[in-house]
Amino acid sequence: MRFNLRARVAAEFLSTGFLVAAVVGSGIMAERLSAGNTAIALLANAIATGAALVALILTFGPISGAHFNPVVSVADAVEGGLPWSETLPYILAQTTGGIGGSVLAHGMFGLSLISLSHHVRSGPAQFLSECVATFGLLSVIWGCSRSRSSAVPFAVASYITAAYWFTSSTSFANPAVTIARSFSDTFAGIRPIDVPLFVLAQFAGGLGATFLFRWLIPTLRSSAKNVILPRQ
């Protein structure tokens, strides 16, 4: 069974919303409980995000492919897995769902529903970090979806959890999540003015990995429709 576009877009909206709620909500909780220890707060934030990713990919993957991410959707379209006519609806669903997730997280913790972030994340190191983070994410997706698709949820979650720690940007690696986090003046936030730099770096890294894996695994394009998980 192949789900219709409306169902798949709804799945992308809900899943990206839950992902951002997990990122922002766990950041708020971690900041409140860590007594000012940023390392502990980041560790809690990373673990919660990784755990949420496994659950969400397993839940929504069979419906929409579990993209949650405009870079993944564009890369899937480039490789012939997602029709270009469906790419914009996916991206709109991911972006609006992500913003909804920020609003939801704020509501659960009794904060103003929308508060633009003042968290500075700018400069060449941040750009490089986001490029590397997204390059690695797409490499994991393409490599695992080609060889062992059942491992994708765990591989993606493991990579993002690790990338929280080995990148100076803490690995946003997702334009929809980046935009959504600009609406949260909390531990997980990013200033709106810093968003374009992150988004540019993310697309550069993600598309770079896509073209690399087209060369590394020449048969990739014929199986691109399996990103991230096969749709029933």
Average pLDDT for the chain: 94
Domain boundaries, position 140: 5-226
Q: Is the pLDDT of residue 177 over 80?
A: yes
Q: Is the residue at 215 inside a domain?
A: yes
Residue 229, pLDDT score: 57
**Residue 69 covered by a domain:** yes
Answer yes or no: is 88 within a domain: yes
What is residue 148's predicted lDDT score, i.e. its pLDDT? 86
- pLDDT at res. 147: 82
**String of DSSP letters for 87-117:** HHHHHHHHHHHHHHHHHHHHHHTT--S-B--
Q: Give me the percent of the chain exceeding a pLDDT of 70.
A: 94
Residue 2 pLDDT grade (very low, low, confident, very high; cuts 50, 70, 90): confident
Separation of alpha carbons 15 and 169, rounded Å? 23
41 assigned to some structural domain: yes
How does 76-115 read in b/e, with b if 16+ C-beta sit within 10 Å?
bbbbebbeeebbebbbebbbbbbbbbbbbbbeeeebeeee
Query: 59: which 2 tokens?
Result: 């839940």
Angle at the Cα of 160 from the Cα atoms of 155 and 161, rounded to 5 degrees: 100
Please tell me the predicted confidence (pLDDT) of residue 226: 53
- Split at pLDDT 50, 70, 90, the class of 96 is very high
Q: Is residue 32 part of a domain?
A: yes
Tell me the pLDDT band of 217, cut-offs 50, 70 and 90: confident
Quickly state the pLDDT bin for 231 (edges 50, 70, 90).
low
| pLDDT for 91 beyond 80 | yes
CATH number of residue 154's parent domain: 1.20.1080.10
Based on the structure, what is the number of domains in the chain? Answer: 1
Q: Does some domain include residue 231?
A: no
Q: What percent of the chain has pLDDT over 90?
A: 90
Tokens of 7: 């169902």
Neighbours of 216 (CB within 10 A): 13
Instruction: Give domain status of residue 45, yes or no.
Output: yes
> Which is nearest to 24 in space by CA: 50, 54, 49, 7?
49
| Residue 232 in domain | no
Q: Pick the residue with more confidence: 218 or 31?
A: 31
Number of DSSP helices (H) and strands (E) in the chain, helices first: 8, 0
In the prediction, which pLDDT does 146 show? 83
Across residues 21-41, what is the average pLDDT? 97
- Tell me, what's the pLDDT at 225? 53
CA distances from 206 to 117, 210, 222 (A): 25, 6, 19
Residue found under tokens 């940007």: 169
Looking at per-residue confidence, does 21 or 222 come out higher? 21
Q: Is the pLDDT of residue 142 over 90?
A: yes
Average pLDDT score over residue span 46-70 = 97
